[in-house]
Structure 1
Amino acid sequence: MVNLDTGAVLPVPKSRTPHTMDGPYTLNACTDDAPLYALALSGAEWAAIDWVRSRGGAGAAVRVSPAVVAADIHTTVTTAKNALARLVRLNVLLKTSPRSQVYQLNPRRFWEGSGDAQVRACRRLDPPAIVPDAKAVAAARKAAAKFAGSAAAEQEPPGPPGAGSTPTIGAGR
């Protein structure tokens, strides 16, 4: 490189130092979708998500056999099928076609690779939002009712002394 004003030769810039985030990385997107903790996922469903992610399902579609998943996550084939089916209903997993056994994690929530590739995948797949199902809504209502009940019990004023249900020692003799 040469400075055009002075004609002096400039040193060549150093090559870029690699950053720790260079290369593939896992993105857990924070979107307007329902958070995963609000979906009341079972252990088998969490294990199925992890199984698909470990096989590359966060960056591309992978072939998933319920029998193989069941053997790897130490559960029955029926439980694995039910877990995969619920994840598809919740839009956490996407199927390439209704009868295929090829799944991909929703790129709006999970992605491994560059951000540009994620944008292209979202445009190509047009992934639906992750939405709670009836089981997740029921679990949220139960938790809210439990929280409301415990909050009401804490706000209840104490009764007069001796009016409690705990008997005193020697009472009634």
Structure 2
Amino acid sequence: MNRHVDYEGVAGMRLNRIAGLSAAVIVGAVLTACSVGGGAEAARDDTAPVAAQQHDEDVPEASGDTAMDDVALCTAFGDVLTILENANVGLDEDRMEAQEQQGWYRLATRVLDRLPSDGDSDVSRAIADLQVIVPVVPAGAGLEVDGVRSPDWNEAKGALDTACDDVDAPLAINMFTGG
């Protein structure tokens, strides 16, 4: 009996499973942070994933409803940046192909699209600008994401950096690729 084990296929399935689980954790953390009526307190729920709790402990307290909403938005946008930058590092270090990077970018557009941007604060306006610059790409569409790292993106992200600093919630990225 001659058995052939396709180790590359097994490794690929493991990587797909890890990528899927990572995406689920990131999306779960973002949705928890942005839950309706829950704000940042929802992300501090004892049943939240440990990674989300650790990230949330770094978020400074803010005063007033608008400020707390802005803090939660800045934290959630940090998750968008985390997705994008880890995908960039993975591509730059030949850990993934451009097709996979674009898959992560598409996920980032969906996370960005779910961030509320109808407020009148500087944070909300900057999020709204970023949503226009990089529109959502529906799951399964297979389209390439345009606009990330463009001059318009950089300008709007700079405005968001400033607005988040103003509410004591600087943008943060959690690098986990390449480790």
So what's the TM-score if we normalise by structure 1?
A: 0.30
Q: Which has the higher strand share?
A: 1
So what's the TM-score if we normalise by structure 2?
A: 0.29
Report which of the two structures shows the higher radius of gyration computed on alpha carbons: 1
Q: Which has the higher helix share?
A: 2
